[in-house]
Structure 1
Amino acid sequence: GQPSPQGSIPPHPAPQHYGVTSPISLAPPKDIDCVQTQKLVEAMRPFGVFEDEEEQNHRLVVLSKLNSLVKEWISELGESKNLPPSAAANVGGKIFTFGSYKLGVHTKGADIDAVCVAPRHVERSDFFQSFFEKLKHQEKIKNLRAVEDAYVPVVKFEFDGIEIDLVFARLSLQTVSDNLDLGDDSRLRSLDIRCIRSLNGCRVTDEILHLVPNKENFRLTLRAIKLWAKRRGIYSNILGFLGGVSWAMLVARTCQLYPNALASTLVNKFFLVFSKWEWPNPVLLKQPEESNLNLPVWDPRVNPSDRYHVMPIITPAYPQQNSTYNVSTSTRAVMVEEFKHGLAVTNEILQGKSDWSKLFEPLNFFQKYKHYIVLTASASTEEHHLEWVGLVESKIRVLVGNLERNEFITIAHVKPQSFPGNQELSDSSIQMTVKVENAESVNIDLTYVIQSFTDTVYRQANNLNVLKEGMKIEAAHVKRKHLHYFFLSGNFFLSKEQLEKKPRFIIIESSSLTLVTNLQNCYLVLNISSTDFKIWVVRLFERLEILRG
């Protein structure tokens, strides 16, 4: 259901112990906390954080129809595999949701993550063949595609306007009933590793909800933190920041430490706790439980590779994993700085010196650094371009790692947002920055690092047999004053003369982007509406200390 915007005050104080330590404070909320929480809700509304009842009901209808399709398919499949008709009619099967939808923190228009759980007569190949065909013949299902070679194989589609990512798990049970408990570890026994991964999303989501003192206060706090992380450019698992489940676990840990607090207090305490956290000490929601299933779990005492994780956040369901293995020294440093900034802003807000909208002001990435790397990915067709962009994006962490090894670079900072390039060429670009020590006296040559990165991408594409004619990646070390040359769209670009005009702001619109340029301090992209391509600008950065805070 839709969370109540104000959160909720428990009729009785929450139990005194959630998580692996005692709480920091059991203080109940005061009247001012209720007022501040309502103000937080109002500040979030303009960002489409809360879904209306109509869309909420529509999602329920779509999920119900999908669940019926699954049961129908599993029954038909049973008959085709010579199960007795009475048995085939009662083998069950069920759709379980997980992720932001199951947590109750999805935004307007967000997709739904779900797992199709089937009994033992259904093979994974059946899911990707006969069920895929069944979906293909549904009038209201569009954009159907299968990604069988993913880490967690998935079927993606749009069902009556709702985007769904559906994974598959086959249990070693004759029937799958509607009241099946996926939290039972014995369900994992003798399962294919892909099925275990598919079930993991559900098991982790359910366990997180079970481990927080007050679900409504958790949900509202998580909505605020996710919005903040996206606005500040640190919401991306693939680029080395945190994804949705990691943010959920950090918020859940905060709720455990302040079990009676409302969202306005919890947001502030979130920043307090994690700006001071002594990484790489792991964040745990519960003590890991032993199991005789012998699945690999996160344990730096046993696994040498786990000792190199710089920001471990450990999933609470067996088999316990670190959800942040992509985080690097640089991305952690960027996030810790953002935690400190968030703490300063929320302290001001709670003291009445500022309002909540300030928390959601975007990071001005283009004012912050002097040096950038601009990566441009291009392909000859839109289909090839999407595939190429995905591969390039997945390898950016390699570039970050190589940059971090340069003795003069202290941080490499990637911006998750991408920008459109030349429409005719189907271009894309990403941004990233690196903080340079003694930048005025050091002249760093990044030619080798950049060439090594592009070679790695081409080699990987070749090995995966996805390299097509026309797929190109270019990388350039660019100073901030020249960055405007890379914001191209068809025949449009922002000229140096336009930058030197008197007015402080120029707004230029084209079919693919709206660019607002801050003439005093450089470039700020406010809105991108093109879906034809992606651009990353990977920037090498030196922080402008005068703009700090």
Structure 2
Amino acid sequence: MSKMWTSSPYSHTNHQGNQNAGKTNEHQNQQNLKTLGMTSAISMAGPKPIDIEKTNELKESLIPYGVFESEVEMHHRMEILGQLHRLVRQWIRDESLRKNMPPSVADTVGGNIYTFGSYRLGVHHRGADIDALCVAPRHIDRTDYFQSFYELLKMQPQVKDLRAVEDAFVPVIKMNFDGIEIDLLFARLALKEIPDSFDLRDDMLLKNLDQKCVRSLNGCRVTDEILRLVPNIENFRLTLRAIKLWAKRHGIYSNTLGYLGGVSWAMLVARTCQLYPNALPATLVHKFFLVFSQWKWPQPVLLKQPDSVNLGFPVWDPRVNLADRFHLMPIITPAYPQQNSTFNVSASTRTVIMEEFRLGLAITDEIMLNKCGWERLFEAPNYFSRYRHFIVLLASSASSNDQLQWCGLIESKIRHLINTLERNQHITIAHVNPECFNSVPLHTNGGQPLALPPGATPPAAADTPGDVKLNDKGEVIPNHCSMWFIGLVFEKTNVNVDLTYDISTFTKAVHFQAENTSMLREGMSIEARHVRRKELHQYLSPSLLRRERLTSGTKRRLADAQHPPNAQANQANNSQPSQPPKKTKRLSESSTEDVSIISYNEDSNSSNMYEVNLQNGTSTNHEERKPTEKNEHPSTSNAQTNSIACT
């Protein structure tokens, strides 16, 4: 397994030129031997006039999507961070005095706010949140942070939607500070004071720290290391802006749901910049898709040789850790302790990501040949047209504050449901759409929430317990509903697929977590429904579904991405990247009209088993089977949606 640390699909050196060119070519070959990261660069070639032209076009194409902030907006962010910094300093001083520290010492212990993520990288878009870290001296505890500092934030008129997630893997306080969303982590260093200009890159700072502090510090340390390892920061930033926009538009930007998060995309772009250090952003975007559409996963992506630091913290190392050998798309952070930023990736999400890489390569090939513009790269995909069968997760609650926490918990658990579905022998793909759709308010029917038809207007949010409404039975009326869609592809036809246990296990796990963290409130519910494609109009607006229809051109591009022309294969072979895992079934491929999904309706008033015949569009009670017309039109069908509810 040591091979995984040192090898790369790009271990060759790209020698160019004629042997008779003398000293000039010798110098060129020396440049080609330059190593950035783990291996030599693939090409040291500089930009051509066409590259400059394409880069200018790329930058212009990004403007309508709001990826660049104005000077006023940037100044506003700096003001907010300044206010937050002063609050941290005030809080640390007050806590120091409360712990009987002399005023003269309390005035000098310091404390800082550090940013990381997209804001620190310089690639944040308009309205984006800010990831920040509060660093405190050793006499300030995490309990102080989540108690006294939290109370101080509650007193600030600019702070709204304040919530603490103390039991998270990386504890965080989330807030809206004067219109900007902020995720604020906490780290306590083993130092008496924190100077104003303090560098967090020193590995020895981690000595004697607990795991949660190390994880909190990791964001800043990784971000700074990425910026240090790229050959040209400005080219890196514009390329990353384009790739992040593409990933969001194509529904593969979400670490929580098993896709890639911001730091993972940043590291992939940084690796591309290392392989083509003198290329401009337009070329880098194209090379990005060339490299990673053919990357031999689970070959890890590394930006540098891992540091030989031994402070006792676990690091990603498949030679030592058995679990690390099962990671599907390892992208390893460059700062100690090295971690895999993509451990949430599943077989389904990797398949989805790889198909998008191949589609991206096909499109950027056409862009570089002037066959289309950059806007095609940022076209939203046709998710709802790919699949015939979906699971819809509906989360509802009585107030907006409850819904915010409830949706966050459910979203963090969806990837576990995806893993469970993948283990089903009949399911080849479980493709979750990262977009959370806000539905209309819910009414109750026999104690079970049911979504109203599209077009209804939700009532005003009920934000306080006094505003929560009750029905005639004294039950809380769910006022808010959110939905996630999971597209399914089945391996075989004419089979009955029983997902009762899988989904009920998921809903029970969500409720168990909510009860353990004292989050569960009256009116919170989670429901899973099986929905066919022709029934999506009950949940989504007609305009959205019309946009989702495949055009013949999109079908062709999908086919080209799945089966690249020989020219693309030859181009790939010249750079020697390895072939991706073979996948015989395309995402849009599904011959499952005869599949029946059997699930258990957990309504307390019923214990009947339902078999949903997807071909006829009917739901049949096993106790009373009724004949149906096979040619019944979808709009007039009396099909009953199969659901699993847990309230």
Band of TM-score, shorter chain:
0.7 to 0.9
CA contact (8 A) 1:376 1:475 kept: yes
> Which position in structure 1 is the counterpart of 2:385?
367
The 3 A distance-change label for structure 1 pair 31 and 520 is closer
Given the alignment of the two structures, is residue 453 of structure 1 paired with residue 482 of structure 2, yes or no?
no
CA contact (8 A) 2:32 2:41 kept: no
> Which position in structure 2 is the counterpart of 1:427?
481
Percent of aligned pairs with the same residue?
Answer: 60
The 3 A distance-change label for structure 1 pair 373 and 50 is same
CA distance in 2, matches of 1:116, 1:519: 43
Give the TM-score normalised by the residue count of structure 1: 0.85
CA distance in 2, matches of 1:519, 1:167: 39
State the Cα distance separating 1:158 from its structure 2 match: 2.6
Bigger mean CA offset, 254-263 vs 14-23? 14-23
CA contact (8 A) 2:384 2:545 kept: no
CA contact (8 A) 2:417 2:503 kept: yes
CA contact (8 A) 1:298 1:306 kept: yes
SS at match of 1:296: coil
Aligned equivalent of 1:112, options 112, 117, 130: 130
State the Cα distance separating 1:545 from its structure 2 match: 5.2
The 3 A distance-change label for structure 1 pair 451 and 157 is closer
CA distance in 2, matches of 1:463, 1:142: 26
Bigger mean CA offset, 135-144 vs 309-318? 135-144
The 3 A distance-change label for structure 1 pair 407 and 202 is same
Given the alignment of the two structures, is residue 485 of structure 1 paired with residue 503 of structure 2, yes or no?
no
CA distance in 2, matches of 1:314, 1:341: 25
SS at match of 2:40: coil
Written as runs of structure 1 = structure 2, the 5 A alignment for 1:236-251 is: 236-251=254-269
The 3 A distance-change label for structure 1 pair 124 and 545 is closer
Given the alignment of the two structures, is residue 257 of structure 1 paired with residue 311 of structure 2, yes or no?
no
State the Cα distance separating 1:149 from its structure 2 match: 1.7
Given the alignment of the two structures, is residue 320 of structure 1 paired with residue 318 of structure 2, yes or no?
no
SS at match of 1:96: strand
Deviations 1:147-180 (CA, angstroms, capped at 9, x unpaired): 2222222222233322221111111111111221
Q: Which runs of 5+ in 2 are unaligned?
A: 1-30, 443-477, 552-584, 591-647
SS at match of 1:360: coil
CA distance in 2, matches of 1:466, 1:137: 23
The 3 A distance-change label for structure 1 pair 306 and 32 is same
CA contact (8 A) 1:77 1:122 kept: yes
Bigger mean CA offset, 134-143 vs 296-305? 134-143
Paired letter, 1:429 = M
CA contact (8 A) 1:15 1:213 kept: no
CA distance in 1, matches of 2:142, 2:503: 41
Aligned equivalent of 1:234, options 218, 236, 252: 252
> Which position in structure 1 is the counterpart of 2:631?
none
State the Cα distance separating 1:434 from its structure 2 match: 2.2
> Which position in structure 2 is the counterpart of 1:397?
415
Given the alignment of the two structures, is residue 134 of structure 1 paired with residue 152 of structure 2, yes or no?
yes
State the Cα distance separating 1:453 from its structure 2 match: 2.9
Q: Which runs of 5+ in 1 are unaligned?
A: 1-12, 488-493, 495-505, 508-514, 523-540
Deviations 1:109-144 (CA, angstroms, capped at 9, x unpaired): 111111111112222222222222333333333333
Give the TM-score normalised by the residue count of structure 2: 0.72
Structure with the greater alpha carbon radius of gyration: 2
Written as runs of structure 1 = structure 2, the 5 A alignment for 1:77-226 is: 77-226=95-244
Aligned equivalent of 2:522, options 447, 469, 479: 469
State the Cα distance separating 1:390 from its structure 2 match: 2.1
CA distance in 2, matches of 1:521, 1:89: 64
State the Cα distance separating 1:102 from its structure 2 match: 0.3
Paired letter, 1:478 = V
Deviations 1:64-85 (CA, angstroms, capped at 9, x unpaired): 2222222233233323333333
Root-mean-square deviation (CA, aligned residues, Å) is 2.2
Deviations 1:467-516 (CA, angstroms, capped at 9, x unpaired): 333322222222211222233xxxxxx7xxxxxxxxxxx65xxxxxxx45
> Which position in structure 2 is the counterpart of 1:436?
490
CA distance in 1, matches of 2:586, 2:492: 9
CA distance in 2, matches of 1:366, 1:125: 46
The 3 A distance-change label for structure 1 pair 391 and 79 is closer
CA distance in 2, matches of 1:435, 1:125: 47
SS at match of 1:186: helix
CA distance in 1, matches of 2:548, 2:168: 44
State the Cα distance separating 1:443 from its structure 2 match: 4.9
Paired letter, 1:434 = L
Aligned residues: 491
SS at match of 2:36: coil
The 3 A distance-change label for structure 1 pair 326 and 228 is same
CA distance in 2, matches of 1:464, 1:37: 49
The 3 A distance-change label for structure 1 pair 518 and 215 is closer
CA distance in 2, matches of 1:162, 1:421: 25
Deviations 1:206-235 (CA, angstroms, capped at 9, x unpaired): 001001000001111110000000000000
State the Cα distance separating 1:519 from its structure 2 match: 9.5
Aligned equivalent of 1:331, options 349, 352, 358: 349
CA distance in 2, matches of 1:126, 1:47: 41
The 3 A distance-change label for structure 1 pair 21 and 543 is closer
> Which position in structure 2 is the counterpart of 1:295?
313
